[in-house]
Amino acid sequence: MRLWKRASGALKDQNSIWQAQLSRRTALRHPDIQKAVIRATAHYHLSFDRRNIDRVCEWIRISPCNLRPVLWSLSNRMHKTRNWVVALKGLYLMHNITNSRLHCVRHIGRLPFDLSGFSDGQGRQAKMWPFNAFIRAYYSFLDQKSAVICQQAEEKSVDGEGFSIRHELMHLLRLQSLIDLLMQIRPQATAAFMPLVLDVMDGLIIEIYDLYSKICRGIAIVLLNIYSGGKAEASMALNVVQKAIQHGDDLSYYFEFCQKIGVVYASQFPVIDRIPEEGINELKEIIKSFAEGSHLEESRQDEGRKGSVDQADGKNHTSIHEEEKSNFYGDDEFRTIITDKWESFDDDFMYKNPFGSPFLTYVQGSKHQEVPDMISFL
């Protein structure tokens, strides 16, 4: 029975290759790319064809225009297949494409095919459920990762290379959601001992360490610039740090599980560092200081508004008093004003010498003045 399945799978792959050779080249259909995709996703269940995987990625590196034929060929094959080996190889090929770090790959967005409800049609459901669950979880992670990469590229194109603490925190939250999806990929039962599944798990362990290291670097950058934000950013940073601490504990158990099923890379990587409690306490103090500062600013604004109201009331009272005085005295230009403010005249600051000439006037602090010429006054 196994020999018949292998022969049937090889015959299907060869038939697909013949059809690709006879097909006409169009904007989406490229015979050479289509053949490479078919060979990279063949029915052989013991290993991946890394040569053709690299060949497909090399087609994209040669020209970004080749990305559309690659995605078309891959999605066309994923829509037709009911075999878990072909589906898993297609997801693994898509994982290599998204990790190629090419500029055109950043704008793929959601995956062009849907395997969220995949079900193998080659065997009994009671026997194939571990493979179906593994493929569905793997697809969910890759679909979300491709969307996160596209969203980050769009934000950079809009905002440029400038740093925004809010955008950095949002990106860290998206990366943490990817780690949550990665930890849901757990091969069960017979799927945990298949060579293809173990090879995929080795790649996922590398993916986890890459994401976790990006999150740690992002947290360090955010903490250095935390005072440039406000209370909302500090609260988001606290949630990110607390989530990172939880991930540190969960990943330890996840790696232990991977080591038990024989994933090689799970035992080769160093132990994940924990975020110290001092950082959590410092963030809480920062949030508290932001809250106190906002309350102080609100109280100052209230006092300012109260002072302006009092000043306005005083001005209104003065204008009313003046209006009453105007009505009382009328519009007469000459009127008596009673006030306690003394008016000063020049005579108050000068005095005459009773023993001198009546024309000699002395000003306090001044020198002796000559007698004026009386003719000039005539």
Highest mean pLDDT of the ranges 39-43, 263-267, 322-326? 39-43
* CB 144 within 8 Å of CB 100: no
The more confidently predicted of residues 164 and 377 is 164
At 295 the pLDDT is: 46
Q: Range with the lowest mean pLDDT among 178-182, 189-193, 327-331? A: 327-331
Question: For the whole model, what pTM was predicted?
Answer: 0.74
Q: Which of 93-107, 111-125, 148-162 has the lowest mean pLDDT?
A: 148-162
Neighbours of 98 (CB within 10 A): 16
Mean pLDDT of 100-104: 87
What is the average pLDDT across 195-213? 91
What CA–CA distance (Å, rounded) separates 149 from 115?
A: 20
Interval 56-94: pLDDT, tens:
999 999 989 999 999 999 999 999 899 999 999 999 999
Q: Give 19-28 contacts, CB < 8 A, sequence gap 24+.
A: 27/68, 28/68, 28/69, 28/72
State yes or no: pLDDT of 297 exceeds 70: no
**Mean pLDDT, the chain, integer:** 78
Distance CA 241, CA 170 (A): 13
Q: Over the range 339-350, which residues count as b (16 or more CB within 10 Å of their CB) and which as e?
A: eeeeeeeeeeee
Measured distance CA(108)–CA(276) in Å, rounded: 38
pLDDT at 37 over 50: yes
For residue 181, give Cα distances in angstroms to 31, 71, 142, 159.
Answer: 35, 23, 9, 28
Tokens 């990172």: give the residue.
Answer: 244
Q: Which residues contact 254 (CB under 8 A, 6 or more apart)?
A: 183, 208
Q: Which of 185, 186, 179 is nearest to 244 (CA)?
A: 179
DSSP β-ladder status, 361-363 and 350-352: antiparallel
SS3 content of the chain, % helix, strand, coil (to 5): 70, 0, 30
pLDDT of residue 359: 37
pLDDT attached to residue 314: 54
Report the alpha-carbon distance of residue 118 to residue 203 in Å, rounded. 22
What mean pLDDT is predicted for residues 112-139? 88
Model confidence band, residue 323 (pLDDT cutoffs 50, 70, 90): low
pLDDT for the residue 73:
94
Q: What pLDDT is stored for residue 24 in this prediction?
A: 87
Instruction: Pick the range with the lowest mean pLDDT from 110-119, 153-162, 344-353.
Output: 344-353
Predicted confidence band at 365 (pLDDT cuts at 50, 70, 90)? Answer: very low
Decide: residue 71, CB within 10 A, 0-12 exposed, 13-18 middle, 19+ buried. buried
More confident residue, 242 or 334: 242
- 15-24: per-residue pLDDT in tens? 989 998 888 8
Residue-level pLDDT at 368:
45
Strand segments, DSSP code E, in the chain are: 350-352, 361-363
